Amino acid sequence: MRRAAAWTAIGASACTLVLLAALHVLSPEFDPSWRVVSEYANGHYGWVLSSMFATWAVSSWALAYALWPSLRSAPERAGLWFLVASGAGEALAAVFDINQPLHGLAGLLGAGGLPAAAMLISAGKRLQWLANLTWIMVVALIGSLVLLFVTFTHAGGHVPADGGMLPIGTKLPPGAIALVGYVNRLMVLVNCLWVMLAAGEWVLRRAGASRDRYESGPSATFLTSTGYTGLHRGRTCETLFPVLKRDLSSGR
């Protein structure tokens, strides 16, 4: 079940990225330089956005389930709970779009929970570089949003009185620096990539542990005692079995 959960995390993350890419094709009216991903809810394919958030939630929860027994330290356990909270935020975003108050809570849990989980789970490990990148993307998102607001208003742009989003088709005035949309999409990519690599690393580690148990178990003892030591030299089953068949046919 844990192995299936790890593969589910990888597959669901891949689906999340495919659905995000599809939204760029289906809704080209949203300028990706400054429109955030959640604004696709105001287009004709809001259901694709909801599906994207749903698969993202599945990937977070599946990874948490897969990693649960193998992470025992207090920071790692805290990271698992942040990962669960991140999945809850992504699930909320699938149900409550950007026009509803609970979407803010969804964003806080999703955008804040996953970087915290990545930092705690991957601390001191091979994926720490990518975990660092998850929180760097959050800082970059906030910075690019502030930059857009300052340059937009300085260039003569008018923010809606209710603080809402600019209407579809709005063109930014010259001088407005629009990067927040790109940063937002890159953040989704980085977060999904961490989930995929963390799950993939777990699968490889489990496969290695299973191979080690096999090589040190009764089967390996039998093979060694009968002269089939290729297993201990790293020979694969595809190499070992033809040798075994040859020796059997020659009466060894």
Of the chain, the percentage scoring pLDDT greater than 70 comes to 82
In a domain, 185, yes or no: yes
* Residues 236 and 150 grouped into a single domain: no
Phi/psi at 34 (5° precision):
-140, -10
In a domain, 119, yes or no: yes
Asked whether the whole model's pTM tops 0.75, one would answer: yes
* Residues 105 and 139 grouped into a single domain: yes
* Residues 20 and 45 grouped into a single domain: yes
Provide the terminal-to-terminal Cα distance of the chain, rounded to the nearest Å.
41
Q: If pLDDT is split at 50, 70 and 90, which confidence band does 208 have?
A: confident
* Residues 236 and 157 grouped into a single domain: no
Q: If pLDDT is split at 50, 70 and 90, which confidence band does 213 have?
A: low
Distance CA 245, CA 248 (A): 5
Q: If pLDDT is split at 50, 70 and 90, which confidence band does 138 have?
A: very high
* Residues 146 and 96 grouped into a single domain: yes
In the chain, the number of structural domains is: 2
In a domain, 168, yes or no: yes
Structure confidence at residue 178 (pLDDT): 95
* Residues 146 and 206 grouped into a single domain: yes
What is the average pLDDT value for the chain, to the nearest integer?
Answer: 86
Q: Report whether pLDDT(29) > 50.
A: yes
Structure confidence at residue 212 (pLDDT): 54
* Residues 191 and 237 grouped into a single domain: no
In a domain, 69, yes or no: yes
Any idea of the CA torsion for 207, 205, 8, 40, to the nearest 10 degrees? -150
Structure confidence at residue 205 (pLDDT): 85
Q: Report whether pLDDT(251) > 50.
A: no
* Residues 243 and 162 grouped into a single domain: no
Distance CA 207, CA 216 (A): 14
Distance CA 11, CA 58 (A): 10
Distance CA 172, CA 35 (A): 11
Q: Which domain holds residue 229?
A: 225-249
In a domain, 220, yes or no: no
Q: Report whether pLDDT(238) > 70.
A: no
Structure confidence at residue 221 (pLDDT): 52
In a domain, 219, yes or no: no
Higher pLDDT pick, 239 / 149: 149
Distance CA 115, CA 193 (A): 12
* Residues 157 and 53 grouped into a single domain: yes
Q: Report whether pLDDT(248) > 50.
A: no
In a domain, 217, yes or no: no
Higher pLDDT pick, 216 / 71: 71
